[in-house]
Amino acid sequence: MPTAADYADKIPNNVGLQEDLRLQRALESWQPNFLNWWDSMGPALPARDVYLRTAVNVGREGWAQFGHVAMRDYRWGIFLAERDPGRVIGFGEHKGEPAWTKVPGEYRSELRRLLVVQGDTEPASVEQQRNLGATAPSLYDLRNLFQVNVEEGRHLWAMVYLLHAYFGREGREEADDLLRRNSGSAESPRILGAFNEETPDWLSFFMFTYFTDRDGKYQLGTLKESAFDPLSRTCEFMLKEEAHHMMVGTTGVDRIVERTAALMVEHDTDDAGPYGAIPLFVIQKYLNFHYSVSLDLFGGETSTNVANYYTAGLKGRWMEDRRADDHKLTDDGIWVDALVDGELAQTEVPALTGLNSDLRREYIADCQGGVSRWNKILAQAGLPQRLKLPHVAFNRKVGAFAGIEATPDGALLPAGEWERRQGEWLPTDVDKTHVRSLMRPVRERGKIAAWIAPPRHGINGRPFDFEYVHLA
The residue within the footprint of ligand BYC, chosen from 24, 232, 303, 395 (CB under 6 A), is: 303
Q: Count of alpha carbons within 13 Å of 231, Cβ hemisphere only?
A: 30
- Cβ nearer to ligand BYC, comparing 125 with 407: 125
Contact 263, 403 (CB under 8 A): no
Size of the site for ligand BYC (CB under 6 A): 25
The residue at minimum Cβ distance from ligand BYC is 299
b/e 383-409 (16+ beta carbons within 10 angstroms → b)? beeebbbbbbbbbbebbbbeebbbbbe
Strand-pairing partners, residue 337, are 346
Query: Is 192 an interacting residue with respect to ligand BYC (CB under 6 A)?
Result: yes
The residue within the footprint of Fe ion, chosen from 94, 154, 155, 190 (CB under 5 A), is: 155
**DSSP secondary structure, 148-208, as one string:** HHHHHHHHHHHHHHHHHHHSHHHHHHHHHHHHH--TT-SSS--SSGGGGS---SHHHHHHI
- DSSP three-state, residue 243: helix
CB of 115 to ligand BYC, least distance (A): 8
The residue within the footprint of ligand BYC, chosen from 234, 250, 356, 357 (CB under 6 A), is: 356
- Cβ nearer to Fe ion, comparing 77 with 216: 216
Q: Distance between CA atoms of 279 and 40, rounded to whole angstroms?
A: 35
- The 58-97 contact track toward ligand BYC, x by CB under 6 A, reads ----------------------------------------
Strand-pairing partners, residue 471, are 47
b/e 36-73 (16+ beta carbons within 10 angstroms → b)? ebbeebbbebebebbbbbbbbbbeeeebeeeeebebee
Q: Distance between CA atoms of 58 and 167, rounded to whole angstroms?
A: 25
- Among positions 43-102, residues that touch Fe ion (CB under 5 A) are none
Query: Is 232 an interacting residue with respect to ligand BYC (CB under 6 A)?
Result: no
Query: Is 308 an interacting residue with respect to ligand BYC (CB under 6 A)?
Result: no
- The 209-238 contact track toward Fe ion, x by CB under 5 A, reads ----x--x----------------------
Residue among 355, 360, 433 at smallest CA distance from 396: 360
Which segment (47-55, 119-127, 420-428, 461-469) binds ligand BYC by CB under 6 A? 119-127
- The 111-140 contact track toward Fe ion, x by CB under 5 A, reads -----------x------------------
- Among positions 282-301, residues that touch ligand BYC (CB under 6 A) are 296-300
Residue among 200, 208, 198, 202 at smallest CA distance from 256: 202
Query: Is 255 an interacting residue with respect to Fe ion (CB under 5 A)?
Result: no
- Among positions 137-156, residues that touch ligand BYC (CB under 6 A) are 152
Query: Is 154 an interacting residue with respect to Fe ion (CB under 5 A)?
Result: no
CB of 245 to Fe ion, least distance (A): 4
Q: Distance between CA atoms of 394 and 410, rounded to whole angstroms?
A: 7
Contact 210, 203 (CB under 8 A): no
Residues that bind ligand BYC (CB under 6 A): 114, 117-118, 121-122, 125, 152, 192-193, 212-213, 215-216, 219, 296-300, 303, 305-306, 315, 356, 398
Q: Which residues bind Fe ion (CB under 5 A)?
A: 122, 152, 155, 213, 216, 245
